Structure 1
Amino acid sequence: MHSDARPTLSSGRTTRRSLMLAAGVAVLAGCTSDPGKKPQASSSGPASSPSPSVPAATAQITAPAEGTANVPTAMEVAVTVANATKTEVVFADPGGEVVEAVPHQVEGAWIPARQLKYDTRYEARVTVTGSDGRTATTTASFTTMKKPGSLAKVTSVVNDGQTVGVAMPFIINFGVDVAKDQRAAVQRRLTVVSDPPQEGTWNWFNGKEVHFRPKDYWQPGTKLSLRAALGGLPIGGKWHTERDLTINATVGRKFLMEVENKTHQLTVTQDGQVVRTMPVSNGRPANPSASGHFMIMIKNEWEWFDSSTFGVPSDSKNGYRLKVYWPQRLTWDGEYLHSAPWSVGDQGKRNVSHGCTNLSPANAEWLWKQTLIGDPVIIRNTEEHVKWGNGWTDWDVSWDEYVKGSAVPYQPPAPPSASTSTSASASAAPSASS
């Protein structure tokens, strides 16, 4: 069956917890950092003379240069520090408003914790503290660009505050194609944090859509946070991204649906325990259901199913236009789980549908009331296999294959350090970031 329904997109606000994975390097969510490992550079500091036994902490801003104009609001400040136990970076405008900075996934770089204002002069201030407690501050002024005329929308399929299934990826959609040579820069501005930390990575399904999934299903109860620090970022040609995004979400219980075509049965397990087995009827030989790993993408109490949407007139021999109850979409081309009172006599025995998985009205309603968006569905042993990208097929390839879709070379996460409460990430990096 087919429908043109698409998921609702939205944005929200977030807080950061344990570091998760991301685009290509682990990032720390905060406005301070550990000392850098690069040679010391010039900086200013208090007038008191340094202790001969303790080298003074120094900092140097290497970009943007003093007085740089037309800087994107999704800017980065490059900092070299030496002998510092603590580094703090902020941006201040002439009115005294201060925007804190957080470490970027690119070593030695910092980005604003929220998008800067257009056409505004800012002073970047870097303050370092040495082991002796003395501080030094260095500054550089720059002016952001005027608001671009072509801003691309940035939206998230996961809503702020939503509870999702264990298979649910973060999905970011762009209003225009992101140029291939800009995707790594975009990905490095995407940070996912999970609590508890779990390894994961981004995958570019196409130029307008990038997904982030963990290596294994999310652990039930995981707290997720996404920050897309994209507002004003160049993405190719005349286009810049419209805004930042911050999304918080929670992972629900592990609820898995498995359809075995050989036996015409759907088995439901929750947290590893079988809770229900239901007879089904899949696609008949002329219109087989696809096998593969799917997710619940969209749920409605009912939808009109109309064969004319995929080229078969509804008034033809093989056509139909039906009001179908308890539909749950699995693919973009129209495979669903749904109620089918007309095929109850066939369910558990033979396949008679146009490609969907038919359930009795009672079973379809029960299942619909249990599921979350992002709950996994596995269909086995049908005559064909789902095509990549026909729905959220993130789990239909191996992890080794999935990481190839990252625009940043993948690096497994480093083991968590005993000296820090945050954990490494993975993606082309670790468990939480770009």
Structure 2
Amino acid sequence: MRRTLVAVMAMAVITPVALAGCGKDEDKGASAWMGTPSAGASAGPSAGAGTSREESATVPISLAVTPAAGKTGVPVSAEIGLKVAGAKVTTVTVKDAAGKAVAGTLREDGSAWVPSSPLKTKQKYAVNVVATADDGTTKTAGTTFTTMGKPGKKTGTGLYLFDDHTYGVAMPVVVEFSPGIKKADRAAVQRRLFVTTTPAQPGVWSWTPNGTQAYYRGPEFWKSGTTLKVRVALGGLPTGGGRYGDRDRSATAKIGRKFEMKVDNATKKMTVVQDGKTVKTMPVSLGKKSTPSSSGVMVVMEKKADTIFDTTAELGPDEGYRTEIQFAQRLTWSGQYIHSAPWSVGDQGRRNVSHGCVNVAPGNARWLFDRTLIGDPVTVKGTGDKLSYGNGWTPWDKPWSEFVKGSALPVPAELK
């Protein structure tokens, strides 16, 4: 069946898009490799520089700090750049014009200090940095700068993740951008997308071709019980074309049990596997020849106990229709769902009659609906249509070797 999307997971998402239904179409945790700040990397963002004295080190210490002293018009996303040799940065202190300390953390590689939230506009900041050599010798450097005013143009952002929610094992971290980020600007944006997993699991960011979404996933589904901690630190960040990120976003969520739905067009059946064991099989009816279901690895994106599929605006009053639907679970933006279809029970397990959705009997639809989580994986195979990348949360539809090619930053050899 087809219907117009009213909204999908309203969390912090940018402008909703109207879409049709059923259409074609350890454990410290691991930080994301692209430059997550490390909370234990410094003496603490609010710690003072103290009265460290400088002495002659065995190896001379060099320490340079950016932004340059006296610089104005600095974006409120500004990081304190650190270039040090012969020592390690041990303290970074940033204070506003009122003398209040600003919270922040060092990047894992020590290349910069990242504020925990955007700085204030048109504000003067003072920075003091202390580097300490192995023999205890210290060197201090500082700078001052003034931030820019409010930007005239912004990039809208969204994060498809809620605090304190539990998701399926295939839940990617999905960040959305409007307008999309051009290739030349993606690396800078990606450096400000931070993910920590507990227990530690590897992961990589990858962009959709049009730059409207970036996905974060690992080589395998997340382990049950994983905690995902995400910060999208884009508030005030230059995103290209004179635009700046609209705001910072963050969420901490859990991953639940492993629950997979596998649909095979050859048998017209869905097999449900939980924690490695088959718990149920059920007959299905998929898309007919003129409106085939998409084959690929999808993810449950939205659940509606009751909704209406409405195609009258899309197809006109003669060919379109409005149909009440129960237990609908969205798989694609273009409108592929799993849902209750009492009218096709006689066809389920025998022939395909839908407009692209996975039709199941009312009792089976209710059984699934009561057990699924947003982020549960759904694999459909053997149909006449291939899932289009980006039509839904599709990062699992690419093999890992292809997925990592979508990163805007170099991928470490151990993650390729």
The TM tier, using the shorter chain, reads 0.7 to 0.9
**1:76 to partner: Cα distance:** 2.2
Q: Which residue of 2 aligns with 1:407?
A: 408
**1:276 to partner: Cα distance:** 0.9
**1:65 to partner: Cα distance:** 1.3
Contact 2:95 2:126 (8 Å CA) reproduced: yes
Is the alpha carbon distance of 1:314 and 1:412 closer, same or farther for their aligned partners in structure 2, counting shifts above 3 Å? Answer: farther
**Is the partner of 1:253 in helix, strand or coil?**
coil
Q: Which residue of 2 aligns with 1:169?
A: 172
**Is the partner of 1:370 in helix, strand or coil?**
coil
Rounded Cα–Cα distance in structure 2 between residues aligned with 1:254 and 1:323:
31
Rounded Cα–Cα distance in structure 1 between residues aligned with 2:258 and 2:343:
31
Contact 2:325 2:340 (8 Å CA) reproduced: yes
Q: Which residue of 2 aligns with 1:419?
A: none
Q: Which residue of 2 aligns with 1:2?
A: 2
Cα RMSD (Å) of the superposition? 2.6
Contact 1:305 1:324 (8 Å CA) reproduced: yes
**1:46 to partner: Cα distance:** 4.3
Per-residue deviation, residues 92-111 of structure 1 (Å, max 9, x unmatched): 11212111332337762222
**1:196 to partner: Cα distance:** 1.4
**1:209 to partner: Cα distance:** 1.6
| 1:219-238 pair list within 5 angstroms | 219-238=223-242
Q: Which residue of 2 aligns with 1:19?
A: 30
Contact 1:64 1:77 (8 Å CA) reproduced: yes
Rounded Cα–Cα distance in structure 2 between residues aligned with 1:5 and 1:400:
35
Q: Which residue of 2 aligns with 1:393?
A: 394
2:185 to 178, 182, 186: 182
**1:144 to partner: Cα distance:** 0.8
- Aligned-pair identity in percent equals 41
Is the alpha carbon distance of 1:261 and 1:314 closer, same or farther for their aligned partners in structure 2, counting shifts above 3 Å? Answer: farther
Q: Which residue of 2 aligns with 1:359?
A: 360
Please state if 1:379 is matched with 2:390: no
2:286 to 254, 279, 282: 282
Q: Bigger shift: 97-106 or 382-391? A: 97-106
Q: Which residue of 2 aligns with 1:147?
A: 150
Q: Bigger shift: 183-192 or 208-217? A: 208-217
Letter in 2 for 1:19: A
Per-residue deviation, residues 153-183 of structure 1 (Å, max 9, x unmatched): 2220111222111111111112322232111
Letter in 1 for 2:257: R
Is the alpha carbon distance of 1:270 and 1:57 closer, same or farther for their aligned partners in structure 2, counting shifts above 3 Å? Answer: farther
Rounded Cα–Cα distance in structure 2 between residues aligned with 1:144 and 1:180:
26
Rounded Cα–Cα distance in structure 2 between residues aligned with 1:59 and 1:7:
52
Contact 2:82 2:110 (8 Å CA) reproduced: no
Q: Which residue of 2 aligns with 1:432?
A: none
Rounded Cα–Cα distance in structure 2 between residues aligned with 1:29 and 1:46:
23
1:118 to 117, 121, 130: 121
Contact 1:61 1:77 (8 Å CA) reproduced: no
**1:149 to partner: Cα distance:** 2.0
Q: Which has the bigger relative contact order, CA under 8 A and spacing at least 6?
A: 1
Q: Which residue of 1 aligns with 2:302?
A: 298
**1:17 to partner: Cα distance:** 5.2
Is the alpha carbon distance of 1:44 and 1:336 closer, same or farther for their aligned partners in structure 2, counting shifts above 3 Å? Answer: closer
Q: Bigger shift: 285-294 or 214-223? A: 285-294
Rounded Cα–Cα distance in structure 1 between residues aligned with 2:247 and 2:62:
30
Per-residue deviation, residues 83-135 of structure 1 (Å, max 9, x unmatched): 43552213111212111332337762222122111110001111223434454
Rounded Cα–Cα distance in structure 2 between residues aligned with 1:236 and 1:85:
33
Normalised by the length of structure 1, the TM-score is 0.84
Is the alpha carbon distance of 1:394 and 1:310 closer, same or farther for their aligned partners in structure 2, counting shifts above 3 Å? Answer: farther
Is the alpha carbon distance of 1:132 and 1:265 closer, same or farther for their aligned partners in structure 2, counting shifts above 3 Å? Answer: same
Q: What is the aligned length? A: 396
Normalised by the length of structure 2, the TM-score is 0.88
**1:30 to partner: Cα distance:** 3.9
Q: Which residue of 2 aligns with 1:213?
A: 217
Rounded Cα–Cα distance in structure 2 between residues aligned with 1:276 and 1:393:
25
Is the alpha carbon distance of 1:233 and 1:106 closer, same or farther for their aligned partners in structure 2, counting shifts above 3 Å? Answer: farther
Rounded Cα–Cα distance in structure 2 between residues aligned with 1:184 and 1:74:
15
Rounded Cα–Cα distance in structure 2 between residues aligned with 1:163 and 1:44:
44
Please state if 1:32 is matched with 2:35: no
Rounded Cα–Cα distance in structure 2 between residues aligned with 1:346 and 1:59:
75
Is the alpha carbon distance of 1:47 and 1:251 closer, same or farther for their aligned partners in structure 2, counting shifts above 3 Å? Answer: closer
Any gaps of 5 or more consecutive residues in structure 1?
A: 34-42, 414-425, 429-434
Is the alpha carbon distance of 1:98 and 1:349 closer, same or farther for their aligned partners in structure 2, counting shifts above 3 Å? Answer: same
Rounded Cα–Cα distance in structure 2 between residues aligned with 1:105 and 1:407:
19
Rounded Cα–Cα distance in structure 2 between residues aligned with 1:306 and 1:48:
73
Q: Which residue of 1 aligns with 2:274?
A: 270
Q: Which residue of 1 aligns with 2:67?
A: 64
Per-residue deviation, residues 380-429 of structure 1 (Å, max 9, x unmatched): 1112211222111111111111111111122245xxxxxxxxxxxx5x8x
Rounded Cα–Cα distance in structure 1 between residues aligned with 2:52 and 2:108:
31
Any gaps of 5 or more consecutive residues in structure 2?
A: 14-26, 44-48
Per-residue deviation, residues 318-345 of structure 1 (Å, max 9, x unmatched): x432101000011111111000111111
Letter in 2 for 1:404: K
Per-residue deviation, residues 33-67 of structure 1 (Å, max 9, x unmatched): 8xxxxxxxxx99745755xxx63884523421111
Is the alpha carbon distance of 1:270 and 1:137 closer, same or farther for their aligned partners in structure 2, counting shifts above 3 Å? Answer: same
Q: Which residue of 1 aligns with 2:341?
A: 340
Rounded Cα–Cα distance in structure 2 between residues aligned with 1:210 and 1:282:
30
